[in-house]
């Protein structure tokens, strides 16, 4: 019987930016894409934000593949179910290394906003649970909450973060009933969020995001 062995090796992580950290920066956004996307395309959803005020950082999942075949477009994913614990450790390490390199949360005068879309929701939460980076706002967009996410020991950490969940009424992957049920269950575990339900499908909706910005920032 073949033995399953493993070795840790170094891998290059990629990220894209809209704007850069400077004296006029008031908000830094760290935005994690969903399954089957690329960060270079995902970051474009935030290019309507003024780069003099907003700095956007979009890390990319470490796993790339062709969506339907060798002649189709390449995309990325944060993890698969195969050797999932190793993949989680890899992307948590990547995100933490990136934070240490860019230091986006070192300036206390700059508000830090984390946004995860679809698979990026789980990715973002796993890293935050592990690393507890400084955060002012947490925006979770149309993603799920796996049962193994444990919030009890981080209850005080998340209590200080303004957390919001967004779901379109035409989302083809997640229902409002499911999210409302998960919201009640997560509240008992020490994780609470405001739910925003809007007209739209499975994507980061610019109109809804703009309305949130105008209300909260």
pTM: 0.96
- What's the pLDDT at 73? 84
- Model pLDDT, residue 70: 62
Domain 15-216 in CATH 3.40.50.1820? The answer is yes
**pLDDT tens-place values along the chain, 217 residues long:** 899 999 988 899 999 999 999 999 999 999 999 999 999 999 999 999 999 999 999 999 999 988 776 667 899 999 988 899 999 999 999 999 999 999 999 999 999 999 999 999 999 999 999 999 999 999 999 999 988 899 999 999 999 999 999 999 999 999 999 999 999 999 998 999 999 999 999 999 999 999 999 999 9
Give the pLDDT score at 140.
98
| Alpha carbon distance 5, 85 (integer Å) | 14
Q: Which long-range contacts (CB under 8 A, 24 or more apart) does 153-159 make?
A: 154/128, 154/129, 154/190, 155/190, 155/191, 157/132, 158/190, 158/191, 158/192, 159/190, 159/192
């Amino acid at each position: 019987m073949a033995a399953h062995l493993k070795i840790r090796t170094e891998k290059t992580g990629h990220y894209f930016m809209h704007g850069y950290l400077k004296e006029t920066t008031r908000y830094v956004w760290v935005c994690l894409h969903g399954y089957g996307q690329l960060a270079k395309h995902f970051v474009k959803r935030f290019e309507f934000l003024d780069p003099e005020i907003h700095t956007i950082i979009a890390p990319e999942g470490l796993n790339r593949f062709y969506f339907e075949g060798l002649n189709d477009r390449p995309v990325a994913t944060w993890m698969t179910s195969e050797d999932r614990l190793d993949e989680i450790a890899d992307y948590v390490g990547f995100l933490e290394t990136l934070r240490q390199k860019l230091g986006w949360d070192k300036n206390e005068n700059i508000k830090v906003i984390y946004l995860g879309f679809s698979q990026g929701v789980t990715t973002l939460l796993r890293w935050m649970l592990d690393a507890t980076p400084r955060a002012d706002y947490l925006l979770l967009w149309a993603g799920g909450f796996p049962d193994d996410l444990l919030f009890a020991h981080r209850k005080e950490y998340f209590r200080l973060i303004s957390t919001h969940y967004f779901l379109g009424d035409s989302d083809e992957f997640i229902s409002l009933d499911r999210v409302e049920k998960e919201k009640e269950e997560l509240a008992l575990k020490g994780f609470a969020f405001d739910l925003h339900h809007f007209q739209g499908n499975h994507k980061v909706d610019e109109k809804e995001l703009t309305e949130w910005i105008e209300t909260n920032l």
